Structure 1
Amino acid sequence: ARIVSILDNRGSSARIVVDERCNTLEDIRLFVEAKAAHLVQIKTPDVGSIADTARAVLLCKANKVGAYVGGSCTETDLSAQASVHISVATQADMMLAKPGMGVDEAFSIVGNEQNRLLAMLNRRRAHDEKIG
């Protein structure tokens, strides 16, 4: 927390991201309540579940700490798609393009799901405005 405070007081644009030492929902709570990072990487496989991933993002948001929905390169395309929905629903600050170690496939899977989700949300909004 001291490093974050020093950086903030100096007006630095450098950001502290907590990653490997912050794996469980309880770890995330301790880091964000202590203001020990500017951004938390929330690893869906480590935190426990999709529901816990959402809880972790909301915990970060409530404490004004950035939320980065990350994960593992070994996740499936379905888990990546589910992470998109959690990220959008909770307004996460960032999301990892996953799965895999490459860029193209992961970027396409996540990007396509984001586009599908936003199209559905826009259609619902237009429908609601039309009848409302």
Structure 2
Amino acid sequence: MTARSLVPLAIAGLLLAGCSSSPGASAPSPSLSAVSAPAGGAALRQLGLVHGPQDFWLPAQIEVTSQIDQPNVVTLTMPTAQRALLVGWLQQELPPGWTVDGASDDSVLFHGGQWQGAFTCSTTTCAVTLRHQAGPA
């Protein structure tokens, strides 16, 4: 398998694993601190989410078609027409402390603090998922 074919598999794993938290895991609590997004950026709260990392932003002009907003995982879906915008943004505009782990023309894996993120596109939908990773027990 090539690295390009592994990215969608890793993203699928993040999406599936993020749908529920383990019974003993505590959910991260949303912080009320303000976030300063760069010009043209919008924090997750500005995009309508309650949960997710406070220090993460996406392009303000994205069209969100659906969302999942849980304490341990958030997902935003967008039309595929926004693929290039989102890939470029995630590779160039991640906040300080966030790192790109892998990227292709239609997928980006990244992390920051106790959050792991994934972006991918199919022929009909693009999605960004952020999943909280519990610290050591």
- Superposition TM-score, scaled by structure 2 size: 0.26
Question: Which structure dedicates a bigger proportion of its chain to strand?
Answer: 2
- By relative contact order (CA 8 Å, sep 6+), the higher-ranking structure is 2
Question: Which structure dedicates a bigger proportion of its chain to helix?
Answer: 1
Q: Indicate the structure (1 or 2) with the bigger Cα radius of gyration.
A: 1
